[in-house]
């Protein structure tokens, strides 16, 4: 069994947003609302030792090992698969958004009736991947994985900053990076067990 | 009087040179394209999906596409665009704009039918009625009656430059139209690349240089961002590969760009002073012996002898046959070399020579003091000490020294050659000096250096191979600067067309005093003088040389030069017909009399087969329509054919020009067009061109047209030769001459020398044959201290917008732009300075150009990522056409602030040579 | 050595707004009210009128509260899934799943419990216009039969309703505390606080009914006041514990504190008018009594208002501490918390 994870190299990300665009197209997200992307690349200004640097910071669902979003869901519409992917079934979800409240990473948004209607005109009624309102989030591009493809954001990442892998394969690049102890996940102190790892060395000139 | 291009008839090019291989060895470094997946082809497509291969259409990076198309109930729909994993250009990767291209096809705002301006309204009002194609063509036929060929202007954007030069040039030629403008010439490549290319002779729109970042060990970027991080995918992936290998990267930029975010060192250099920085580098390198002597001796004109001419300006010492002179190391004698060659070790008489770089002190020849180019240049740069540069750039002298040393000590450093250039008058000189510095390290066509694109290299090869065939179609047998010279000559020569009119830019230049700020020596395919022409102020043979009709295709100049300029030009009463061909209702569309919608790039087959743009590997590519057209729209070649019928009375001249200039057989083209037309194929001429192109290309590649078609359909690319093979055989200048006048890397510039001589500009630094300082003048009184509210103004491209194009209207991109908010659409102001002025983040303020008094409103983005004395804005926002419902008025239009002052060499814009004042709105 | 530096930025949510706050308020109070009504009827011989008032208003509050939640759902018709009694077995960790069952069964058992009382209550049959209809329905045999059976099982029904009522009151707090992102929510004091508040508001409502509607000044009123005073006392301790111990412990909590101390609605509305004043007034009422029913009714209204404000501020002031900025630039700068660097 695989255990999927993502590694993000903060050193190479150039903030091009190709990942956001690829994800939005692949997953037909309601892009007309800038708050409804499955992944974001934050554009930040950070002070290190009195100097300022620009830092891009991609975020997406962490596919937590102990996902609070799953434990609060009253319908079972969101669950964690054995391969590590936390998914949402729009056919079951009633859209209470408790999961979105529970997610400490802001990884979920609600797709409303209006969103679905607009999606019909933008993405083609007959070609919709989701036709009922529900909460939505990154699913590591489940359909693509099934087809043997990498997640859309990873495939297109201009800077090879998003790297997809299998933690159960010790030879996998992501596994090796995680094993090296040099990666870090977000807010692990909450006990969520996130599976998106970040790696970063600051410019030598600043440290 | 008219521009005369340097005498380089193709016959003289290769004389005596041979493509000999002397000394130059290429280390056999393999490219390691990590963005290519080893053997990865996991495409269990869903049962109702299939792939179509094509090319992106949103910038000149030419990325290869793999399109996923779904089919349901007999309906086809594009689901997604990806990079083509079979292409070594961009692999499976494409940028945000490339990803979002599908939104152009399905955009509700797309122009769906021809539009005709409503009677009684003014241009710019955007009052149109839908029309049929017959109505539209009738309208054009009616309006264009009586307009003379020279009164037309054909205006194309970057896509014309990248894809449709043959199609468009042949069209202009067929209809005897001398006036052709391509907006990138003026605002993009010409201004910068002219400099770079004077050194290497290479010229093609963005394809001449592809930097081999991943094999480099030191990268220095100067005035560059979009070309890497902002993003040109094919370069960005290579840059990231270098980052992964921890290659040291240093960026000069007054603000922290995307590239800066992925770099080791960022120097917030003072705007407009980069030339000083590079001159100091040049001085340090020359003084410390930090250069590749072998390369300079063998493949550059550094050893050539120069002297001061009667105007006290440097001039090459040439034999009566135009041969350059060098001092032979063994004999100490002066020896003449072939005028054209890629190497300096065989004298004109065939004997062996080994030129020296350094002139013996007090060296005299033929009674004159002489120096090598190397020594002359070294003398000239002695004033440019790091301390001198530190004073203007604000970068400490110690850092300038250190960077120069690190760069020089690196094995294969890359000085990022820079891309769009229209910022300051001195950009050409800056890019020249950058090329010189790269040349000092011998870094051309070597692993980890500047690599020339394979497609382009093929063009140069063909040029050398055709050198003895004066009748070869020029557009198929000229490349690089020689092609530019040819085209410029054609435009400026009154004898090119029977009517005797040269391009008005030439006439305008002749009427303008040389010391006027509106004069440019080589204003080829630029709009310099257009306003004067429209107003009837330019005379040719005692009659006003008027411009009465403009045909815009795939370009949006209304967001480029100041609005006033276009408003004046397009609303002038002399202007009788404005036609715009586009897909989206751009701001330029608003000024049209008639709008011709083109099919989107995903709905059309391309008329030609291309090389793979900026790829060291030679791969053939073309576009295949992914879905049937959504609307009854036209494709450029058929539109131009129709225009030819209207203007010249028949399509015949177009066929003839295509044969004569491009080498497409007219008879076959005609037959096929008729055949397709009979079959009811929409846009039959496009289909015919494509078939002929397939036939010719397949023939060259040694396969059948069907086989080529099949390969391209299945893979999207057809590899003919790899970059390594090509460089091994045709590396420039080590194996094959560069397309410079001398075939060598020209530290002494024959190009600028020619212009200098022709116009007698002996002490004008813009036309200096050697590197020299040119100050940037942003303020009328540079000495006066800047007010608290005064700032330098700079801009750059946003990763989500192409130039000033309506793709900011595509939903996905508009969503991302809204998410980024003021970072993208606001004006970056240093937070500390803003505080002093009492401004807060998000404040609406007014910004005034202190030289032109152009005034605009901006929203502030306070940040520490920009110099204190500088404000920065992303270009590409501020669309003013309400039909662009998603992008309308998002942000501020760059050209509401930037001017169109020009520099005197090629008429490129100085879009940053001014300061602004910020006031409370 | 790890050189990863994370900047932290703070954001509040706007997903769950006033409708959910009202749901949490009405749900907790309504469920507590059913529980209290069952207890006082079963064990303290409360009369029919008081019991009916308590239970029926509890039912109404649960009904309205749930309806408000329904409106807030992205896909309301899907709600049937969580109404199925076995749903919690599939999602045992979901407090909404349990809470829904609590609500359903508190409502069902409460209703059954009072069924006989309803049938007996003459005022219902005297309501103008609908009275005659009610009269006819109440005489339908099946209705009467249910009433009869309900009498038989009344202790069991009472206990189920009480358990579910308490469960519902607690659940509203546990639900909030299962959101780990914000310190305000994710701590052990929240469930007791919400439970106590639910009962305190329910008592306040009953006091209001006693004094403003039924105009009674009997022993129940006194008892309600006493218990409420104790509950509010406990609530004050819980709130103080939250404000002075838990929230200052980290950046999310500190940011919440910042918001709360700068909100008049919280400081004056909740702490002052909703908590302290009622506490003082109830101390006065319990120790020396009031001359009229008005101060009691006023106190009750203040408690109710406080109960709603508590939920509203809880939802709107929970601060997520994101590593790397999620909030917009302006609010970060304004909050003075931009570029906080934490090295992990
Ligand atoms: N303000 C500003 N001006 C600039 C620049 C900038 O960054 N800001 N950059 C400069 C540079 S480097 C360059 S290269 C030039 C480029 O300048 P242009 O070549 O004018 O490029 P765009 O502004 O992208 O405009 C392209 C136009 O083509 C249309 N178009 C898109 N697809 C098609 C198609 O398939 N068919 C047709 N017929 N039209 C199509 C678009 O809708 C758009 O209106 O701009 C220069 N000028
Ligand atoms: N997203 C996007 N990418 C593109 C394109 C596009 O339209 N959109 N177009 C493509 C084309 S045609 C071109 S020509 C290239 C252009 O590619 P670039 O030439 O790299 O263009 P810019 O984005 O304009 O980058 C210029 C950078 O120079 C900085 N700068 C401005 N003034 C100065 C100065 O005085 N000194 C220094 N050192 N730096 C300065 C700016 O802050 C900016 O970061 O981009 C290509 N890639
Ligand atoms: S595609 Fe890659 S490089 Fe571009 S913003 Fe996303 S993560 Fe960063
Ligand atoms: S990141 Fe959020 S949505 Fe994703 S698994 Fe973790 S808690 Fe759930
Ligand atoms: S919104 Fe949907 S997925 Fe989320 S908790 Fe509610 S039912 Fe579950
Ligand atoms: S893995 Fe797929 S769904 Fe998740 S962010 Fe990337 S593209 Fe979007
Ligand atoms: S860099 Fe982006 S816009 Fe340019 S060709 Fe490639 S995918 Fe298209
Ligand atoms: Mo460009």
CA of B874 to the centre of ligand 2 (A): 10
CA distance B261 to B251: 10
**CB within 8 Å: A14 and B82:** no
Does residue C98 surpass a pLDDT of 60? yes
Q: What is the DSSP string of B384-407?
A: --HHHHHHHH-S-HHHHHHHHHHH
pLDDT in tens, A60-117: 999 999 999 999 999 999 999 999 999 999 999 999 999 999 999 999 999 999 999 9
pLDDT in tens, B519-529: 999 988 899 99
Is the CB of residue C126 less than 8 Å away from at least one CB of chain A? Answer: no
Instruction: Please check whether residue C318 lies inside any domain of the structure.
Output: yes
CA-derived radius of gyration, chain B: 27
Q: What is the pLDDT of residue B803?
A: 86
CA of A42 to the centre of ligand 3 (A): 10
Nearest residue, CB atoms, C75 vs list A45, A133, A186: A133
Q: How far is CA B564 from CA B311, B794, B894, in A?
A: 41, 21, 13
* Contact assessment for residue B78 and residue B102, using Cβ atoms and an 8 Å cutoff: yes
Is the CB of residue A14 less than 8 Å away from at least one CB of chain B? Answer: yes
CB of A151 shorter than 6 A to ligand 6: yes
Is the CB of residue B832 less than 8 Å away from at least one CB of chain C? Answer: no
A97 phi, psi to nearest 5 deg:
65, 20
What CATH number did the domain enclosing C92 receive?
1.20.1630.10
CA of A18 to the centre of ligand 2 (A): 18
Q: What is the pLDDT of residue C325?
A: 61
Of B250, B262, B191, B247, nearest in space to B222 by CA: B250
pLDDT in tens, C228-280: 999 999 999 999 999 999 999 988 899 899 999 999 999 999 999 999 999 99
CA of B591 to the centre of ligand 2 (A): 28
Is the CB of residue A54 less than 8 Å away from at least one CB of chain B? Answer: yes
As for the ipTM of the complex, it is 0.94
3-state helix vs strand vs coil in chain B, percent to 5: 35, 20, 45
CA distance A30 to B815: 9
Of B472, B467, B502, nearest in space to B488 by CA: B502
CA distance C151 to C146: 9
Is the CB of residue B838 less than 8 Å away from at least one CB of chain A? Answer: no
B391 half-sphere exposure, CB direction, 13 A CA radius? 6
Give chain C positions within 8 Å (CB) of A186. Answer: 6, 323
CA distance B879 to A130: 33
Q: Which protein residue has the closest C-alpha to ligand 3 atom 4?
A: A16
Nearest residue, CB atoms, B823 vs list A33, A43, A161: A43
**CB within 8 Å: A126 and B45:** no
Domain coverage including residue C44: 9-338
Instruction: Please check whether residue C4 lies inside any domain of the structure.
Output: no
Instruction: Give the distance from residue C97's alpha carbon to the nearest chain A alpha carbon, in angstroms.
Output: 5
CB of B232 shorter than 6 A to ligand 2: yes
Ligand found nearest the CA of B801: 2
CA distance B287 to B404: 12
CA distance B551 to A130: 44
CB of A98 shorter than 6 A to ligand 5: yes
Question: Alpha carbon B860 to chain centroid distance?
Answer: 31
* Ranges of chain B whose pLDDT falls below 70: 1-44, 205-208
B40 phi, psi to nearest 5 deg:
-80, 115
| Ligand 6 pocket, mutate which of A19, A59, A153 (most atoms under 8 A from CB) | A153
pLDDT in tens, B722-768: 999 999 999 999 999 999 999 999 999 999 999 999 999 999 999 99
Provide the residue ranges of all domains of chain A, joining segments of one domain with +: 4-202
pLDDT in tens, B399-456: 999 999 999 999 999 999 888 778 999 999 999 999 999 999 999 999 999 999 898 8
* Contact assessment for residue B538 and residue B574, using Cβ atoms and an 8 Å cutoff: no
Q: What is the pLDDT of residue C186?
A: 95
Cα of first residue to Cα of last residue in chain C, in angstroms, is 11
Q: Strands (DSSP E) along B147-227, which ranges?
A: 152-156, 180-182, 210-211, 218-222
Provide the chain B residues 529-568 that lie in CB contact (below 8 A) with chain C: none
**CB within 8 Å: A94 and C178:** no
Q: What is the pLDDT of residue A206?
A: 57
Is the CB of residue C290 less than 8 Å away from at least one CB of chain A? Answer: no
CA distance B681 to B675: 9
B252 half-sphere exposure, CB direction, 13 A CA radius? 27
Instruction: Give the distance from residue B173's alpha carbon to the nearest chain C alpha carbon, in angstroms.
Output: 54
pLDDT in tens, C208-232: 999 889 888 788 888 999 999 999 9
Q: Which protein residue has the closest C-alpha to ligand 4 atom 2?
A: A103
Helix (H, G, I), strand (E, B) or coil at B474: helix
* Cis status of the peptide bond prior to B340, with omega within 30 of 0: no
Best to test chain A binding among C180, C252, C340 (most A CBs inside 10 Å) = C180
CATH code of domain A4-202: 3.30.70.20
Nearest residue, CB atoms, A16 vs list B108, B229, B266: B229
Does residue A6 surpass a pLDDT of 80? yes
Q: What is the pLDDT of residue B3?
A: 32
Quick one: tokens of B874? Answer: 């992303």
- Indicate the number of domains in chain C: 1
CB of A78 shorter than 6 A to ligand 5: yes
Q: What is the pLDDT of residue B25?
A: 26
CA distance C60 to C69: 14
Does residue A59 surpass a pLDDT of 60? yes
Residues in chain C: 344
B632 phi, psi to nearest 5 deg:
-85, 80
* Contact assessment for residue C157 and residue C116, using Cβ atoms and an 8 Å cutoff: no
CA of B224 to the centre of ligand 8 (A): 12
CA distance B791 to B254: 12
Provide the chain B residues 773-832 that lie in CB contact (below 8 A) with chain A: 799-800, 811-816, 818-820, 823
pLDDT in tens, C183-198: 999 999 999 999 999 9
CB of A152 shorter than 6 A to ligand 3: no
Characterize the bridge pairing of strands A51-59 and B870-875: unpaired
**CB within 8 Å: A190 and C180:** yes
**CB within 8 Å: C328 and B823:** no
CA distance C246 to C256: 11
**CB within 8 Å: A104 and C181:** yes
Give chain C positions within 8 Å (CB) of A48. Answer: 5, 341
């Amino acid at each position: 069994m695989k255990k999927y994870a993502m590694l993000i190299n903060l050193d190479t990300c150039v903030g091009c947003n190709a990942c956001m665009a690829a994800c939005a197209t692949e997953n037909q997200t309601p892009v007309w609302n800038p708050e409804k992307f499955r992944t974001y690349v934050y554009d930040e200004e950070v002070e290190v030792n009195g100097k300022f640097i620009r830092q891009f910071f991609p975020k997406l669902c962490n596919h937590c090992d102990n996902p609070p979003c799953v434990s609060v869901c009253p319908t079972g519409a969101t669950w964690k698969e054995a391969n590590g992917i936390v998914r949402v079934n729009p056919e079951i979800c009633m859209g209470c958004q408790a999961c979105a409240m529970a997610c400490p990473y802001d990884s979920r948004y609600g797709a409303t009736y209006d969103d679905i209607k607009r999606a019909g005109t933008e993405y083609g009624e007959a070609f919709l991947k989701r036709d009922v309102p529900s909460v939505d989030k990154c699913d590591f591009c489940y359909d693509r994985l099934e087809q043997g493809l990498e997640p859309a954001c990873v495939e297109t990442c201009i800077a090879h900053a998003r790297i997809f892998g299998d933690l159960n394969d010790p030879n996998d690049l992501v596994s090796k990076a995680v094993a090296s102890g040099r990666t870090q996940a977000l807010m692990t102190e909450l006990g969520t067990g996130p599976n998106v790892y970040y790696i970063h060395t600051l410019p030598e000139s600043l440290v | 009087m008219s521009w005369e291009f340097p005498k380089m008839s193709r016959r003289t090019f290769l004389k005596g040179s041979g493509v000999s291989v002397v000394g130059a060895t290429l280390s056999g470094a393999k490219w390691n394209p990590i963005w290519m997946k080893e053997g990865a082809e996991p495409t269990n497509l869903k049962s109702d999906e299939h792939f179509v291969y094509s090319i992106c259409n949103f910038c000149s990076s030419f990325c290869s596409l793999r399109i996923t198309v779904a089919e349901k109930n007999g309906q086809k729909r594009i689901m997604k665009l990806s990079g083509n994993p079979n292409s070594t250009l961009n692999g499976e990767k494409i940028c945000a704009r490339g990803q979002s291209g599908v939104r152009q096809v399905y955009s509700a705002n797309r122009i769906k039918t021809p539009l005709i301006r409503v009677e009684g309204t003014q241009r710019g009002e955007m009052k149109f009625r839908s029309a049929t194609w017959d109505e539209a063509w009738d309208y054009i036929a009616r309006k264009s009656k009586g307009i003379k060929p020279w009164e037309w202007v054909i205006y194309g954007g970057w896509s014309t430059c990248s894809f449709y030069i043959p199609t468009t040039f042949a069209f202009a030629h067929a209809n005897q139209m001398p006036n052709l403008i391509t907006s990138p010439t003026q605002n993009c490549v010409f201004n910068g690349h002219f400099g770079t290319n004077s050194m290497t002779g290479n010229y093609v729109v963005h394809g001449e240089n592809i930097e081999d970042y991943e094999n480099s060990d030191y990268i220095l970027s100067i005035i560059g961002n979009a070309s890497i991080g902002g993003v040109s995918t094919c370069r960005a992936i290579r840059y990231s590969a270098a980052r992964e290998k921890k290659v040291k990267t240093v960026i000069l930029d007054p603000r922290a760009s995307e590239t800066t975010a992925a770099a080791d060192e960022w120097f917030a250099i003072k705007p407009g002073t980069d030339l000083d920085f590079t001159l100091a580098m040049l001085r340090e390198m020359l003084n410390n012996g930090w250069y590749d002597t072998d390369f300079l001796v063998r493949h550059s004109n550094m050893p050539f002898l120069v002297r001061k001419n009667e105007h006290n300006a440097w001039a090459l010492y040439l034999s009566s046959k135009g041969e350059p002179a060098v001092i032979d190391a063994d004999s100490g004698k002066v020896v003449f070399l072939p005028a054209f060659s890629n190497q300096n070790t065989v004298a004109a008489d065939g004997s062996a020579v080994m030129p020296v770089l350094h002139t013996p002190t007090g060296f005299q020849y033929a009674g004159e003091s002489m120096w090598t180019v190397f020594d002359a240049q070294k003398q000239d740069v002695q004033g440019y000490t790091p301390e001198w540069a530190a004073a203007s750039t604000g970068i400490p002298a110690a850092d300038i020294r250190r960077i120069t040393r690190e760069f020089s000590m690196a094995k294969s450093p890359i000085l990022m050659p820079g891309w769009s250039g229209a910022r300051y008058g001195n950009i050409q000189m800056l890019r020249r000096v950058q090329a010189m510095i790269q040349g000092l390290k011998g870094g051309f066509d070597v692993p980890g250096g500047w690599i020339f694109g394979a497609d382009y290299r093929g063009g140069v090869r063909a040029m050398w191979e055709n050198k003895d065939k004066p009748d070869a179609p020029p557009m198929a047998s000229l490349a690089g600067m020689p092609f530019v010279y040819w085209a410029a000559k054609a435009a400026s020569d009154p004898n090119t067309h029977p009517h005797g009119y040269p391009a008005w830019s030439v006439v305008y230049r002749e009427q303008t005093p040389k010391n006027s700020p509106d004069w440019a020596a080589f204003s080829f395919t630029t709009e310099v003088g257009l306003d004067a022409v429209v107003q009837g102020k330019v005379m040719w043979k005692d009659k006003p040389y008027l411009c009465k009709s403009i045909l815009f295709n795939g370009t949006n100049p209304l967001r480029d030069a100041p609005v006033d300029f276009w408003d004046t030009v397009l609303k002038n009463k002399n202007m009788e017909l404005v036609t715009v061909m586009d897909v989206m209702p751009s701001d330029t569309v608003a000024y049209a009399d008639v709008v011709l919608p083109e099919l989107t790039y995903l709905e059309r087959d391309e008329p030609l087969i291309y090389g793979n743009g900026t790829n060291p590997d030679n791969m053939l590519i073309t576009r295949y329509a992914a879905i049937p057209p959504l609307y009854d729209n036209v494709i450029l070649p058929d539109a131009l054919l129709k225009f030819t019928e209207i203007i010249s009375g028949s399509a015949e001249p177009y066929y003839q020009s295509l044969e004569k200039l491009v080498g497409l057989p007219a008879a076959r083209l005609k037959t096929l067009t008729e055949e397709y037309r009979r079959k009811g194929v929409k846009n039959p001429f496009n289909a015919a061109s494509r078939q002929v192109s397939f036939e010719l290309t397949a023939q060259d590649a040694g396969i059948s047209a069907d086989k080529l078609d099949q390969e391209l359909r299945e893979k999207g690319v057809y590899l003919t030769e790899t970059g390594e093979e090509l460089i091994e055989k045709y590396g420039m200048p080590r194996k094959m001459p560069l397309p410079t006048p001398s075939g060598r890397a020209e530290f002494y510039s024959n190009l600028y020398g020619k212009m200098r001589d022709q116009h007698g500009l002996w002490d004008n630094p813009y036309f200096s044959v050697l590197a020299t300082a040119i100050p940037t003048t942003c303020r009328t009184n540079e000495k006066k201290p800047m007010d608290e509210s005064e700032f330098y103004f700079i801009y750059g491209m946003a990763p989500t917008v192409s130039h000033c194009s309506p793709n900011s209207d595509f939903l996905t991109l508009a969503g991302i732009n809204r998410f980024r908010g003021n970072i993208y659409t606001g004006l970056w102001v240093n937070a500390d300075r803003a505080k002093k002025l009492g401004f807060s983040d998000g404040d609406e303020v007014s910004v005034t150009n202190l030289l032109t008094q152009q005034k605009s409103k901006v929203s502030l983005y306070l940040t520490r990522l920009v110099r204190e004395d500088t404000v920065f804005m992303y270009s590409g926002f501020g669309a003013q056409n309400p039909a662009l419902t998603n992008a309308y008025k998002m942000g501020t239009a760059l050209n509401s602030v930037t001017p169109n002052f020009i520099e005197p060499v090629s008429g490129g814009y100085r879009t940053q040579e001014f300061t602004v004042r910020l006031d409370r709105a | 050595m790890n050189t990863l530096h994370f900047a932290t930025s703070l954001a509040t949510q706007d997903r769950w707004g006033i409708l959910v706050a009202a749901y949490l308020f009405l749900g907790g109070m309504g469920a507590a009210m059913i529980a209290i009504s069952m207890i006082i009827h079963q064990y303290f011989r409360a009369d029919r009128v008081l019991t009916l008032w308590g239970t029926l208003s509890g039912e109404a509050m649960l009904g309205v509260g749930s309806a408000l939640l329904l409106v807030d759902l992205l896909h309301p018709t899907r709600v049937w899934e969580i109404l199925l009694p076995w749903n919690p077995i599939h999602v045992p960790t979901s407090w909404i799943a349990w809470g829904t069952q609590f609500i359903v069964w508190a409502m069902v058992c409460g209703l059954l419990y009072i069924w006989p009382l309803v049938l007996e209550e003459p005022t219902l049959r005297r309501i103008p216009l609908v009275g005659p209809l009610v009269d006819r329905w109440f005489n339908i045999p099946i209705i009467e039969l249910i009433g009869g059976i309900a009498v038989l099982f009344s202790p069991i029904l009472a206990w189920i309703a009480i358990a579910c009522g308490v469960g519902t009151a607690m659940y509203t707090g546990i639900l909030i505390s299962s959101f780990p992102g914000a310190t305000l929510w994710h701590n052990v004091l929240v469930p007791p606080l919400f439970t106590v508040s639910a009962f305190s508001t329910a008592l306040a409502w009953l006091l209001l009914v006693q004094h403003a509607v039924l105009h009674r000044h009997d022993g129940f009123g006194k008892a309600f006041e006493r218990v409420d005073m104790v509950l509010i006392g406990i609530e004050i301790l819980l709130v103080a514990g939250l404000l002075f111990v838990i929230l200052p412990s980290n950046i999310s909590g500190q940011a919440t504190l910042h918001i709360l101390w700068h909100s008049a609605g919280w400081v004056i509305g909740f702490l002052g008018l909703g908590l302290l004043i009622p506490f003082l007034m109830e101390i006065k009422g319990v120790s020396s009594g009031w001359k009229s029913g008005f101060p009691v009714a006023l106190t009750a209204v203040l408690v109710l208002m406080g109960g709603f404000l508590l939920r509203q501020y809880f939802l709107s002031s929970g601060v997520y501490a994101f590593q790397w900025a999620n909030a917009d630039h302006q609010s970060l700068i304004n909050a003075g918390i931009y570029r906080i660097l934490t090295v992990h």
